[in-house]
Amino acid sequence: MKRPPLDQLETALGHRFKNKDLAADALTHSSVASGKNYERLEFLGDRVLGLIVAEILFEKFPAEAEGDLAKRLAALVQGELLAVIAAEINLGTYVTFSEAERGAGAEDNENIIADALEALIGAVYLEGGLKPCRALVEKLWQGRFENMKTPPSHPKTSLQEWAQGQGLPLPEYKIIGQSGPDHAPVFLVRLSVKGYEDVKAEGRSRQVAEKEAAKIFLEKNNI
């Protein structure tokens, strides 16, 4: 399958790469035995994204306490949201995979496209520093800062705080099953809270499954 031209992606990002090799690295999956892939750039991009989002939040919400800013930050850099943003720009279609990996549906894998987006941010940072990275984030995250009227509370955090308030032991999460192919596993998690019926939930990562289990528990017990 022929990849779309890079300039289409550059338009979506609002950034033109001077170093096309750097962009290629950010768009190469480890299944391609080329010696280069996006993993190191992803590591860098993750840290750059966190800094930029923190800076924007610091400016937009000058009266908020550190704890509330941290909640907003966690929601805006989580993998689930990155995958949504990556899908909006059809990022998976630009990533180079092995034929087997692509045939298994890798370009729609949420974890992979979220990682590739972070890698692109890392590549933009290496090429131009923080300024173009911030412009990219403001373009792709547009409206999401303002639409978050109040600091979101992660279901796991809410559940833990509730349990502590009830004098209960901390909730326990345990992986009890895994299905799906290696490139797109689905985890089954059991959540246990003393004195309450266990709940189970699935997710494309352990974190997603645990979050869903906490959400189900809170809704089930009207917390």
Q: Which domains does the chain have, with CATH numbers?
A: 6-147 (1.10.1520.10), 155-220 (3.30.160.20)
Strand pairing category for 172-179 and 186-192: antiparallel
Average pLDDT value for residue range 86-101: 91
Long-range CB pairs of 48-53, under 8 A, 24+ apart, other chains included: 48/121, 48/122, 48/125, 48/130, 48/133, 49/77, 49/118, 49/121, 49/133, 49/137, 50/77, 51/130, 52/130, 52/133, 52/134, 52/137, 53/77, 53/137, 53/141
Q: Is the dihedral of CA 74, 9, 3, 119 positive or negative?
A: negative
Report the percent of the chain where pLDDT is more than 70.
99
pLDDT digits (tens, 9 = 90+) for 115-147: 999 999 999 999 999 999 999 999 999 889 988
Residue 46 among the catalytic residues: yes
Write down the pLDDT at residue 1: 55
Catalytic option among 25, 42, 46, 115: 46
Write down the pLDDT at residue 2: 64
- For 32, what's the count of Cα atoms within 13 Å in the CB-facing half-sphere? 16
Beta strands in 55-185 (DSSP E): 172-179
Catalytic option among 42, 107, 110, 118: 118
Q: Provide the 10 A C-beta neighbour count for residue 219.
A: 11
pLDDT digits (tens, 9 = 90+) for 3-21: 788 999 999 999 999 999 9
The amino acid at residue 69 is L
pLDDT digits (tens, 9 = 90+) for 35-47: 789 999 999 999 9
